Amino acid sequence: MAMVSAFGLMTTVAGCGLMPGDDERVTLKLVAADYGDSEANSSRKYWDALVEAYEKDHPNVRVDVSVHSWNDVDKKVKDMVAAGEAPDLAQVGTYADYAAAGKLYEMSELLSIPVQANFLSSLAEAGEVDRVQYGIPFAASTRVLFYNKKLFKEAGITRAPRTWSELATDAEALKAAGVKTPYALPLGPEEAQAETMQWLLSGGAGYTDNVGTYQIDSDENVKTFTWLKDELVDKGLTGPADPAKLNRADAFSAFAGGQVGMLNGHPTLMRIAAGKGIEYGTAAMPGVDGSSHGTMGVADWMMAFKQNGHQEEIGDFLDFVYSDENVLDFSREYNLLPVTSSASDAMAADKDDAALRPFLEELPTSELYPVGKTSWAQVSAAVKESIGTAVGQDTDPKTVLGRLQRMAVSAENKE
């Protein structure tokens, strides 16, 4: 998603003075997700550099950061909260269930007014529960179809597919040309909810309807997964890996290794593929009939727990985290999109960031997960665990989606 220190983190912070007494040193505990794909670019290095810069000017505050993989980070926070040991800050994928339980600070209780006003409006609104913002956007991305230009050329394919039918035809051509995985379908537990949502949107529906009611087993969604099973998986066009066990990171690695013809990807894949010398192209995700459908956007969240107090210290640290310099450093390091207006404008104007402009342009109108629903954390976990079985052998997609719908309704009714 150049190491952060190379960009030169800002070491002068507006809003200083919100410090504890000189005889008291406050420790803030932050649990964060790892956006790196190797030890060399682990998020640990980003946070180490940022914290070092912050603590240099704030000797009475120590920030203790623990970084965990996306497979583990949500559970880590959940276990800490359940044990009565909530961190001060957590940078993860959901927030609403903690907000509904009264465990989080409101954003307005933490950040300075200029920082609050600087978030992209669509992301800020997505951080609300009952019209109060608890989730603070941290990183964002949109998804597009990536394809291997060399493999396309060898298979005689001259352009990216625009419809599902064209995607299946291209996958057949890639298979005939000896491509190991014509289309990678990562429905494993790492990020199955993302692959699922992109396909649901391209089929004309989504997890919820226009008023926010779950519609996981809608006719459109059943047709989408039936098509995936019948036209891609059962025909051997998704490669040797079981989609239910294929994680996003492994699919990205296989694409960078020249073994995958097509897959859905976010901006991080650009760096991974380029680092391995893969010449790739990008295109909008094909729609069921070629019509324009919603583009999926993803936002990850920062949240602040009230358990330990430290409200002023948390707010001051977050003002530093969301400075343009630091937002851009993180975004550029991991090929993600800035969550603030000023940083987005700076990236859009910088010719060195030209490759990210298509993703930036899509973000304001993209559709995000229903993260404001307190049931979403439970629903997302269930999707990760079982959606891959919807395309398995001797499985009826309607049965799997119906089971997920019933679980989602039950979780919603408990809110």
The predicted-structure confidence for 45-72, as pLDDT tens digits, reads as follows 999 999 999 999 999 999 999 999 888 8
Q: Which two tokens stand for residue 113?
A: 């007014």
CATH of the domain at 103: 3.40.190.10
283 and 349 in a common domain: no
Classify residue 5: in a domain, yes or no: no
283 and 170 in a common domain: yes
393 and 265 in a common domain: yes
79 and 216 in a common domain: no
Q: Categorize the per-residue pLDDT at 415 as very low, low, confident or very high, splitting at 50, 70 and 90.
A: low
302 and 290 in a common domain: no
Please write the tens of the pLDDT for every residue from 258-298: 999 999 998 889 988 999 999 999 988 999 987 667 788 88
% of the chain exceeding 70 in pLDDT: 94
Q: How far apart are CA 258 and CA 93, in angstroms?
A: 30
Classify residue 76: in a domain, yes or no: yes
Classify residue 249: in a domain, yes or no: yes
377 and 246 in a common domain: yes
Q: What is the 3-state secondary structure (H, E, C) of 232-250?
A: HHCCCCCCCCCCCCCCHHH
**Where a domain ends, among 365, 382, 404?**
365
Examine the pLDDT at 23 and tell me if it is beyond 60.
no
Count of structural domains within the chain = 2
Examine the pLDDT at 15 and tell me if it is beyond 50.
no
246 and 195 in a common domain: yes
Please write the tens of the pLDDT for every residue from 187-200: 999 889 999 999 99
**Where a domain ends, among 365, 383, 402?**
365
120 and 197 in a common domain: no
Q: How far apart are CA 336 and CA 331, in angstroms?
A: 5
399 and 290 in a common domain: yes
Classify residue 326: in a domain, yes or no: yes
Classify residue 2: in a domain, yes or no: no
Enclosing domain of residue 338: 11-134+298-365
226 and 183 in a common domain: yes
154 and 130 in a common domain: no
Please write the tens of the pLDDT for every residue from 151-209: 999 999 999 999 999 999 999 999 999 999 999 999 999 889 999 999 999 999 999 99
Classify residue 1: in a domain, yes or no: no
Distances (CA, A) of 411 to 206, 316, 406: 18, 36, 9
415 vs 85, more confident: 85
98 and 229 in a common domain: no
Examine the pLDDT at 354 and tell me if it is beyond 90.
no
Classify residue 382: in a domain, yes or no: yes
Sign of the Cα torsion 247, 248, 252, 255 reads: positive
Question: For the whole model, what pTM was predicted?
Answer: 0.77
